[in-house]
């Protein structure tokens, strides 16, 4: 008898493989608040998915619990809205079982880094090949406004009326420390950057972690305005490009120079520094990635945006498949009667 | 001197020594040899909780107990007829369980001054007359082996390690065991180490000779062959049987298998076995925690695999939320819980049946999940396959309850031919015209199963309440009632698809012993003894706890009194009383031991005399 799953998957795709962003709309009403940053992520995901060369039926979106975790309901792909914090573990099981699928995880800062923290570090460590979109709004929104592990110290929330006492995680540093082979950041208000980052994540062969600053208009409005508004972004963010110097400013008139391991802002117009003095981005350099991640809470430098780190490392799901392929040709493979009999049996005649 | 010959109905033998003394090996060989000779066998390994406990200590004793018999037996024996004691501590801890007149084979060098001190003996029990109730043979095993192996290039330390085979030889000759099976096994195991093989073969042979030529042994015993059904047999632990069951279930369902699991005593061996089945195409993930063990399995099930997780009590506690998710997702899953003594960390290596109520009710919301239980080690194979069958046919997680006793103990497993195990026929939806994610089979109420990769069947499932048929998210009050009813009706309906509860003995009358799961052997042996002694009592054993077999109420009502022996403070008793309003007499033991035959026997005798209840 043929394996029942293999039989179904062997059925030929009917018609064209092509689909559009519109085909990805599930028809369910999108119930995020008007002005929520999550809309822009949804739009960009729907925009890039048709360009990846993946059949729509081979895409699965798994989410946890929270506002952003409603994401799968709005996508006409295979999807599962699961438990608080557990999306990555469920997605890992799916991807290990079905490595040919394109597996996406929609999660929030609380879902991913608080209740789901253990699954996050281990999925990153194993390098399970999936795309993890962490919608960071710096707050628990679906429960109406408590501080998250990414809320800032001193932040006033419903559960910290006198200010948050603890320091936040540095999400990209945590991802790097856990061994994530791809770490990037983008934000809701820059569609172009988001598209580039999501495409890179989707094409990365391994665990791709994308932190997305997504504004919560109700409980944490303006949390990222300091870097994401049109007025502020030129001076307070720096877009990373592999092999290129770190320049920023409206007229690219500023740059980042390394002073030892310390990044510092220099002017490119005062005659003291040129582009040759600047830090050149290298996505493969782990030490550099750590320095970039460390810029997140450093008020003297802009926030890095784009791909911090990207390296090739064989994903866990691929290793699993390779191991099985290796053993599938060993003597006795699949011999159920030999397995049942074991190596110390006797016969009663 | 001519030795006498005597026939025995059976015997219970215990090999006891330090962790490094090879007692598990001797025990396994004695039991496999006896099985091969056509006897019924039942075993239980008794390891210390410590990994390498200090040598010679009372708490470091590692033992392996075997009961063999001509008639069918289902327990490893309440009292020991033959004790092989490698040191003073192993003698001391075994003494309370020795039957009167028991044979003790003592390794003389294990009773030196240091051993006696560690065992807290002031004088040597082999010499001080304190063992006068027993037949004691003090054997210079180590000295003999040093002579026997003098010509081999082997250090004294390695020569000493053959003492377990020497002791095995003594009891093989004393109880007329055929050494052929063990010789063959030694050749396979040590074929690549000729010196080790030689030494072990010499030890076995020398041990047998020791009995033959030594006049201390006046009698040679025989245990007659049983009327065992012809076929291939092997001894199997419940954990190995469960692992095999998962692989075979996947094979018979023509599915791929995925196991997500986190190490936990006493369930870990299932993970060990599964991880060794790579050449049979099994995928497994040693997850980062218990929650990920189950949730990764949910992911694999969504992907169209037969998915399973294995755990024990503390792990089951952590999996509770995800079990609720699996319930509302209506995805097939096998959850194997090897029960151990709780609460909390409890006594990890000791068996209990204290997870039944958690399996039944331990979730928020109304979240019915079918529960099955295995009766003995070999039955773990059958019930794992049965759990998979129910899971796939009804699109539901299924919990299989075993326990630390049947998981680690062995009994003979009649090796089936793969073709004789019924096939299962799970199907995946493929037609976009008819597919709806919560459309149900009218017979089983199972929802349709579509897997990622199937064109046109893209759909979303999740933990939010589903609308009937469409599977859309719904908070509608009438729909929630309907879906709750449907989930319950689906599980209840399984009662039509499982065997009726069989009553052994009179079909009605005064007293019924009703057991469940791993207490089967003790209850059965007790009942056999009671019947032999002319007592009028019936017995029945549950393997299906949710739903119960369709005729359970009728069975209960056919008896005036029902006794439920179980290794908890009254889980099944509460379920039965609550559901059928029938007052139950409980026999509740949580003493860290498997249920003891004599405990059941005595309770029944007491009930028959007192008319209590």
- Each residue of B53-71: pLDDT tens digit? 889 999 999 999 999 999 9
Place of tokens 């997780």: B309
pLDDT band with cut points at 50, 70 and 90 for residue A173: very high
Task: Name all domains of chain B by residue range, CATH numbers in brackets.
Answer: 4-223 (3.40.920.10), 234-420 (3.40.50.970), 509-610 (3.40.50.920)
Residue B47 has pLDDT above 90, yes or no: no
Torsional sign, CA B230, B236, B239, B245? negative
Query: Which of A330-334, B226-230, B603-607 has the highest average model confidence (pLDDT)?
Result: B603-607
* Two structure tokens written together for A75: 């996508």
- Predicted confidence at residue B53, as pLDDT, reads 82
Looking at residue B305, its pLDDT comes to 98
Q: How far is B194 from chain A (nearest CA, A)?
A: 20
**Interatomic CA distance for residues B297 and B261, integer angstroms:** 9
Residue contacts between A and B (CB atoms, under 8 Å) = 240
Q: Is the pLDDT of residue B31 over 80?
A: yes
Average pLDDT over residues B541-568: 98
Mean pLDDT of chain A: 97
How buried is residue B442: exposed, middle or buried, by Cβ count under 10 Å (0-12/13-18/19+)? exposed
Instruction: Tell me what the mean pLDDT of segment A161-188 comes to.
Output: 98
For residue B519, the number of C-alpha atoms closer than 13 Å in the C-beta half-sphere is: 31
pLDDT above 80: residue B203: yes
Cross-chain Cβ contact B458/A97 below 8 Å: no
pLDDT of B578 > 90? The answer is yes
Question: DSSP letter string over B412-440?
Answer: EEEPPPGGGSPP--------TTT--TB-B
Percent of chain B with pLDDT over 70: 100
Partner-chain residue, chosen from A77, A345, A349, that has the shortest CB–CB distance to B458: A77
The topology under which CATH files domain A20-223+314-341 is Rossmann fold (3.40.50)
A336 and B423 within 8 Å at the Cβ level: the answer is no
Output the pLDDT for position B46.
Answer: 85
Cβ-based contacts of B245 with chain A (< 8 Å): none
Kindly indicate the confidence band of residue B254, based on its pLDDT and cuts at 50, 70 and 90.
very high
Q: What is the pTM of this model?
A: 0.96
Q: How far is B145 from chain A (nearest CA, A)?
A: 27
pLDDT at A133 over 80: yes
pLDDT at A343: 87
Q: Is the CB of A73 less than 8 angstroms away from the CB of B473?
A: yes
| Nearest-Cα residue of chain A relative to residue B449 | A5
Residues B369-394, mean pLDDT to the nearest whole number: 98
A65 chain-B contacts, CB cut-off 8 A = 463
Say yes or no to pLDDT of B288 above 70. yes
Mean pLDDT score, A183-191: 98
**Residues B94-107 pLDDT 10s:** 999 999 999 999 99
**B121: helix, strand or coil:** coil
Question: Per the CB < 8 Å rule, is A60 touching B452?
Answer: yes
Confidence of residue B253 (pLDDT cuts 50, 70, 90): very high
A97 reaches B (C-beta below 8 A): yes
Structure tokens at B396: 């539901």
Structure-block tokens of residue A321? 């498949």
Q: Tell me, yes or no, if A27 comes closer than 8 A to chain B by beta carbon.
A: no
Predicted confidence (pLDDT) per residue in A20-50, tens digit = 999 999 999 999 999 999 999 999 999 999 9
Nearest-CA distance B50 → chain A (Å): 28
Pairing of strands B135-139, A78-81: unpaired
* Mean pLDDT computed over every residue of chain B: 96
Continuous H helices in B53-193: 88-94, 113-118, 141-148, 156-160, 163-174, 180-190
Identify the sign of the CA torsion A117, A119, A124, A125. Answer: positive
* Closest in A8, A121, A324 to B454, CB measured: A8
Evaluate if residue B51 carries a pLDDT over 80.
Answer: no
For residue A96, give how far its alpha carbon lies from the nearest alpha carbon of chain B (Å). Answer: 7
Structure-token match 């529960």, residue found: B371
Q: What is the mean pLDDT of residues B455-469?
A: 98
- What whole-number distance in Å separates Cα of residue A344 and Cα of residue B25? 12
Contacts of A345 in chain B (CB under 8 A): 232-234, 415
Q: Which own/partner contact pairs does A328-333 have at CB distance under 8 Å and 24+ positions apart? A: A328/B279, A328/B281, A330/B279, A332/B279, A333/B279, A333/B280, A333/B281
Cβ-in-10-Å burial (0-12, 13-18, 19+) of A75 comes to buried
Boundaries of every domain in chain A? 20-223+314-341
Contact B329 A79 (CB under 8 A): no
Closest residue to B325, CB basis, from A82, A119, A330 = A82
CA dist B240 and B249 (Å) reads 14
Q: What is the rounded average pLDDT of the residues A246-259?
A: 97
Residue B498 pLDDT > 90, yes or no?
yes
B159 Cβ contact list (under 8 Å, min separation 6): B142, B145, B146, B149, B152, B199
Mean pLDDT of A166-188: 98
Residue A109, number of CB atoms within 10 A of its CB: 28
Which of A13, A78, A96 is closest, CB to CB, to B452? A78
User: Which residues on chain A are in Cβ contact (under 8 Å) with B428?
Assistant: 4-5, 8
Identify all chain B residues contacting A3, using CB atoms and an 8 Å cutoff: 254-256
User: Is the minimum CB–CB distance between A13 and chain B shorter than 8 Å?
Assistant: yes
User: Smallest Cα–Cα separation from B257: which of B236, B285, B288, B289?
Assistant: B285
pLDDT, one tens digit per residue, over A214-247 is 999 999 999 999 999 999 999 999 999 999 999 9
At B613 the pLDDT is 67
- Average pLDDT score over residue span B440-465: 98
């Amino acid at each position: 008898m043929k394996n029942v799953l293999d039989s179904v998957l062997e059925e030929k795709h009917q018609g064209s493989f092509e689909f559009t962003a519109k085909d990805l709309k599930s028809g369910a009403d999108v119930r995020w608040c008007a002005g929520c940053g999550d809309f822009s992520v949804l739009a960009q995901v729907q925009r890039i998915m048709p360009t990846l060369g993946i059949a729509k039926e081979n895409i699965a979106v798994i989410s946890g619990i929270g506002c952003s975790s409603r994401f799968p309901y709005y996508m006409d792909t295979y999807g599962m809205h699961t438990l608080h914090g557990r999306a990555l573990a469920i997605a890992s099981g799916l991807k290990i079982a079905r490595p040919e699928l394109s597996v996406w995880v929609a999660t929030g800062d609380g879902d991913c880094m608080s209740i789901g923290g253990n699954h996050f570090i281990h999925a990153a460590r194993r390098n399970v090949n999936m795309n993890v979109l962490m919608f960071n709004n710096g707050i628990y929104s679906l429960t109406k406004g408590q501080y998250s592990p990414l809320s800032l110290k001193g932040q006033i929330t419903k559960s910290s009326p006198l200010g948050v006492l603890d320091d936040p995680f540095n999400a990209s540093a945590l991802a790097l420390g856990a061994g994530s082979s791809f770490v990037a950041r983008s934000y809701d208000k820059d569609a172009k950057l988001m598209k580039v980052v999501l495409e890179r994540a989707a094409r990365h062969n391994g665990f791709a972690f994308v932190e997305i600053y997504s504004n919560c208009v109700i409980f944490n409005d303006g949390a990222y305005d300091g870097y994401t508004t049109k007025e502020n972004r030129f001076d307070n963010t720096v877009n990373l490009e592999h092999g290129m110097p770190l320049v920023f400013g409206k007229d690219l008139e500023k740059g980042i120079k390394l002073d030892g391991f310390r990044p510092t802002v220099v002017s490119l117009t005062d005659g003291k520094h040129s582009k040759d003095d600047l830090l050149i981005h290298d996505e493969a350099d782990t030490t550099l990635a750590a320095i970039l991640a460390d810029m997140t809470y450093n008020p003297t430098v802009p926030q890095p945006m784009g791909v911090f780190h990207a390296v090739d490392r064989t994903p866990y799901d691929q290793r699993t498949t390779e191991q099985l392929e290796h053993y599938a040709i060993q003597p006795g493979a699949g011999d159920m009667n030999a397995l049942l009999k074991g190596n110390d049996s006797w016969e009663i005649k | 001197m001519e030795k006498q010959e005597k026939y025995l109905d059976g015997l219970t033998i215990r090999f006891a020594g330090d962790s490094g003394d090879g007692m598990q090996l001797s025990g396994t060989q004695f039991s496999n040899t006896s099985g091969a000779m056509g006897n019924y066998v039942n075993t239980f390994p008794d390891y210390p909780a410590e990994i390498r406990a200090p040598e010679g200590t009372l708490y470091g004793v590692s033992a392996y107990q075997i009961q063999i018999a001509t008639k069918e037996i289902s327990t490893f024996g309440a009292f020991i007829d033959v004790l092989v004691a490698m040191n003073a501590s192993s003698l001391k801890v075994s003494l309370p369980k020795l039957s009167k007149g028991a044979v003790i084979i003592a390794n003389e060098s294990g009773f030196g001054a240091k051993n006696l001190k560690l065992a807290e003996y002031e004088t040597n029990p082999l010499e001080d007359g304190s063992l006068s109730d027993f037949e004691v043979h003090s054997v210079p095993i180590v000295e003999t082996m040093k002579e026997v192996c003098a010509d081999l290039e082997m250090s004294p330390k390695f020569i000493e390690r053959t003492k377990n085979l020497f002791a095995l030889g003594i009891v093989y000759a004393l109880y007329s065991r055929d050494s052929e099976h063990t010789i063959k096994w030694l050749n396979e195991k040590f074929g690549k180490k000729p010196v080790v093989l030689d030494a072990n073969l010499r030890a076995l042979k020398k041990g047998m000779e020791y009995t033959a030529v030594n006049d201390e042994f006046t009698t040679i015993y025989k245990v007659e062959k049983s009327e065992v059904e012809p076929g291939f047999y092997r001894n199997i632990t419940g954990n190995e049987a469960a692992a095999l069951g998962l692989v075979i279930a996947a094979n018979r369902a023509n599915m791929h298998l995925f196991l997500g699991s986190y190490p936990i005593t006493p369930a870990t061996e299932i993970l060990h076995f599964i991880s060794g089945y790579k050449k049979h195409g099994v995928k497994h993930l040693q997850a980062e925690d218990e929650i990920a063990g189950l949730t990764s399995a949910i992911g694999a099930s969504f992907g169209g695999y037969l998915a399973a997780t294995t755990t024990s009590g503390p792990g089951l506690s952590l999996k509770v939320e995800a079990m609720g998710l699996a319930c509302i997702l209506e995805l097939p899953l096998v959850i194997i819980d090897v029960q151990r003594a709780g609460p909390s960390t409890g006594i990890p290596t000791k068996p209990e049946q204290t997870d039944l109520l958690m399996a039944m009710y331990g979730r928020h919301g109304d979240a019915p999940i079918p529960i099955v239980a295995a009766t003995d080690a070999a039955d773990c194979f059958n019930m794992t396959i049965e759990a998979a069958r129910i899971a796939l046919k009804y699109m539901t997680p299924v919990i299989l309850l075993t326990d630390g006793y049947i998981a680690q103990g062995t009994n003979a497993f009649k090796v089936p031919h793969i073709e004789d195990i019924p096939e299962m026929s799970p199907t995946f939806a493929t037609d976009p015209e008819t597919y709806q994610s919560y459309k149900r089979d009218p017979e089983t109420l199972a929802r349709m199963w579509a897997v990622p990769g199937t064109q046109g069947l893209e759909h979303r499932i999740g933990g939010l309440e589903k609308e009937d048929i469409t599977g859309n998210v719904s908070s509608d009050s009438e729909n929630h009632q309907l879906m709750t009813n449907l989930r319950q009706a689906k599980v209840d309906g399984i009662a039509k698809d499982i065997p009726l509860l069989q009553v052994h003995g009179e079909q009605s009358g005064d007293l019924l012993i009703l057991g469940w799961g791993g207490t089967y052997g003790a209850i059965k042996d007790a009942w056999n003894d009671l019947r032999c002694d002319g007592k009028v009592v019936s017995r029945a054993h549950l393997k299906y706890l949710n739903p119960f077999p369709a005729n359970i109420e009728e069975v209960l009502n056919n008896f005036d009194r029902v006794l439920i022996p179980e290794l908890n403070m009254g889980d099944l008793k509460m379920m039965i009383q609550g559901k059928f309003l029938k007052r139950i007499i409980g026999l509740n033991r949580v003493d860290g031991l498997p249920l003891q035959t004599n405990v059941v026997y005595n309770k029944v005798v007491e009930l028959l005399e007192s008319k209590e209840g």
